[in-house]
Chain A
Amino acid sequence: MGHHTEVITSVGIDIGTTTTQLVISRLTMANRAAATAVPRIEIVAKEVLYKSRIYFTPLLDHQHIDAEAIARIVAGEYQAAGLTMGDIDTGAVIITGETAKKENARAIVEALADLAGDFVVATAGPNLESILAGKGSGAAAFSQAQHRVTANIDIGGGTSNFAVFKDGRAIDTACLNIGGRLVELERHGDRITYISEPGRVVLRECGLTLGVGDRISLPQLKLLAQAMARCVLEAVTTRNLSNLARELLMTPPLRLDYPIQTVMVSGGVADHIYSSEQPVALSGISTFGDMGPALGWAIRDTFRAAGVELTMPRETIRATVIGAGTQSVNVSGSTIYLRDHTLPVRNCMVITPFPDGLPDNPGDIADVVQQAVFRATSGNIDQPIALALDGPRTPSFADIEHLATGLAAGLAGYLREGKPLVIVVAQDCAKVLGQCLETRLARAELICIDQIRVDEGDYIDIGKPLMGGRVVPVVVKTLVFPGPS
């Protein structure tokens, strides 16, 4: 038995539009239940051990990320931290903002995840990015400690990521294609060196006919920054969006069917928001070769004019990477059903066959499951599946057997090929459901876990068991690559 606490080392790597960063953290797991109760293992402490330098994301050109240079950054930082790949237990690589649109984004994030450690997972997607940034900034923890609905806006080089938290949980997310690097400038100069597609849209909206190589004036830059700032303000204050904001949204807008009580801004642009500097000359603004400082000041002034107070979060520019390093890994419930040798499993696509509740009889359950699995695997036979469901009709043994009978009949075909199957139940019944399925499906590669929340379209990765085999580390993630724009 033993195993009172266990420490794992987690890496977070964020490849953003402007910067690439890495953090190493230590996560401590312990049994929080009383000695005589069924164990309840949780992550009880998260400590950042090492923060890398902040690098400019190396690009070969505007469509390709420089894979070799990124690998060198990671290797160099591991060395500086005094660690090797073998020391890393888990973590996440996230590719964010405009960088996720590059042609080789998916290949790089997957290769990097393999390089970075044994159970380091590849992730991408604007909504996940929003949630990780809000957790990394401290907004999620603030919403729980203060019981305030808190919106975090992470503004980087390419996107503004909105996540709204209530009692520590994300209740809404959105992503707006606005950031400090949509228009790039000659460092310490006033000449435009690059305009991204969304940058072009904003320029047009402002009536500015500027192109690469043109010089931009301070009033023109302010006009541009103000237009962007208004879109950011609109996104957290109204459903009645301007045409520009609507065009720049990469996801559905925030629902705003809840009161936002606190607004925080993180990301590289945030440091300019919480400063009292004012634009004096373009040469001072373009220090980083972009319009980030101007955007930050414009957002500060626009929110102030609208009477929306901005609260400074615990982390600003490092929010996303800290979120990826400390918040992406969860542990399952402590009574689960496993076959160790099938772990780890990666990139299981979550399907939710019963969105409107469980059918009454096992025959109907079987039909629905069989069809859902067939649909999910028709395009890609090798795609591993995670079946997510709320649980049996009631937690009684009879109803669990009822569910198991239906599931077993519906899944027999899929399991016959020896493919692993993950079942994620919301109710605390994973172990008994797993055993009921085992008696019906001998030798199936089954993993049955509970107390993890997933949605249709998520992906999950499950690592090797921890704490004496009682729990597994689970990463719930998205893999959304918007593709070259």
Chain B
Amino acid sequence: MQDELIKEIVQAVLIRLAAGDPKDAKPIKQSAQPASNQGERTDLSQPREAAGENLEDLAAVDLQQEIMVPHPVDGAALEYYKRSTTARIGVWRCGPRPLTRTLLRFRADHATAQDSVFKDVSEDFLSRFNLVRVQTMVKDKDQYLTRPDLGRQLPEGELEKIRRECPPKPQVQIVIADGLSSRAVEANLADILPALKQGLASYRLATGRDIFVKFGRVGVMDVIGMTLAAEVVVLLVGERPGLGTSESMSAYMIYKPGPETVVADHTVVSNIHKGGTPPAEAGAHLATVVKCIYDAKASGVKLAQQ
């Protein structure tokens, strides 16, 4: 009986919180609100869905512009430091703990990151590009996360499909993989891919047919490169999302992968997203890196040492 009562109270409190004016949710103002304000509310029966529409989307707030310190001694300096980093600095506190707002924002960003790991790149999106689509040995997301080795291998049927649909021995083979962020692919591909191909064309480097790999990890590019005997392989892949952004893409490049290929043979350009290197500019830059790899006949550490 006691437990039931507690549950009821908790429910009531939750509903009340959800129905509250979003402004009241701001911790600084909240602490200044007299408690009696809460008692004036009579619309506890309001459905949750309707109340949800009034909730502020914390994830949409630009953290670098949000000043949480109530009375900064030097506001200009605080703004300057906040602008200079994406780290969660100057978030204020309640006793020794973070504010509810800070904690909720942290959890919202974490949820966004998890979503981009667990969601697939949408069919609609992929159908806008002319891609040969294959899937690694991985069956589902759980297996993808627990068996990295399978994400680097393609079943014989998929290899056969690649041989059938892609021209062999391309100068440059472009591969796209979901990796750990489907959002990275959806957010950047439409800008990075045409810029990369335009740049390669201006260097007179011919590409084959682009390939999309579902449940792919970096090593799969070597398998595809060997299958097609490509000279340079470029992999555009979603990076493991962080709390700062879940849209970041990396580009891995390798010269003539083979059975002896190791991780250090790859050249990588990371942090491609609208808050890092913008995808269109990154595509143009990648073309120059590919040209450099093609001319040097080397990539990764071997190229850096030349």
Taking beta carbons and an 8 Å cutoff, which residues of A are in contact with B?
Answer: 1-2, 34, 36-38, 147, 167, 335, 337, 395-398, 400, 427-432, 434-436, 438-439
Q: How far is the CB of B2 from chain A (nearest CB, A)?
A: 56
Q: A167-B80, A396-B191 are in contact. Are A436 and B198 (CB under 8 A)?
A: yes
The count of residues in chain B whose C-beta lies closer than 8 Å to any C-beta of chain A is 36
B190→A36 contact, CB < 8 A: no
A37 vs B271: C-alpha distance when bound (angstroms): 6
A429→B269 contact, CB < 8 A: no
Q: Does B32 contact A (CB under 8 A)?
A: no
B281→A429 contact, CB < 8 A: yes
> 5 nearest interchain CB pairs?
A432-B284, A431-B284, A147-B77, A397-B191, A38-B277
B303→A38 contact, CB < 8 A: no
Residues facing A in B225-272 (CB within 8 A) are 250, 268-272
Q: Does B199 contact A (CB under 8 A)?
A: yes
Q: A397-B195, A432-B195 are in contact. Are A36 and B281 (CB under 8 A)?
A: no
Q: Which residues of A contact B282 (CB under 8 A)?
A: 38
B292→A335 contact, CB < 8 A: no
A432→B274 contact, CB < 8 A: no
Q: A38-B269, A147-B80, A396-B191 are in contact. Are A432 and B280 (CB under 8 A)?
A: yes
Of the candidates B277, B287, B304, B306, which one forms a contact with A428 in the assembled complex, judged by CB atoms under 8 Å apart?
B277
How would residues 264 to 306 of chain B score, 1 for a CB under 8 Å from any chain A CB and 0 otherwise?
Answer: 0000111110101111111111011000100000000001101
Closest to A167 in B: B80
B280→A395 contact, CB < 8 A: yes
Q: How far is the CB of B184 from chain A (nearest CB, A)?
A: 15
Q: How far is the CB of B64 from chain A (nearest CB, A)?
A: 15
B292→A37 contact, CB < 8 A: no
Q: Does B6 contact A (CB under 8 A)?
A: no
Q: Which residues of A contact B287 (CB under 8 A)?
A: 435
Q: Does B60 contact A (CB under 8 A)?
A: no
Residues facing A in B55-73 (CB within 8 A) are none
How would residues 180 to 202 of chain B score, 1 for a CB under 8 Å from any chain A CB and 0 otherwise?
Answer: 00000000001110110011011
A147→B306 contact, CB < 8 A: no
Q: A37-B276, A147-B76, A335-B285 are in contact. Are A435 and B199 (CB under 8 A)?
A: yes
A431→B274 contact, CB < 8 A: no
Instruction: Name 5 interchain pairs, CB-CB below 8 A, sorted by A.
Output: A2-B304, A37-B269, A428-B277, A430-B281, A431-B199
A396 vs B282: C-alpha distance when bound (angstroms): 12
A428 vs B271: C-alpha distance when bound (angstroms): 14
Q: Which residues of B contact A398 (CB under 8 A)?
A: 190
Q: Which residues of A contact B76 (CB under 8 A)?
A: 147
Q: Which residues of B contact A37 (CB under 8 A)?
A: 269-271, 276-277
Q: Which residues of A contact B198 (CB under 8 A)?
A: 432, 435-436, 439
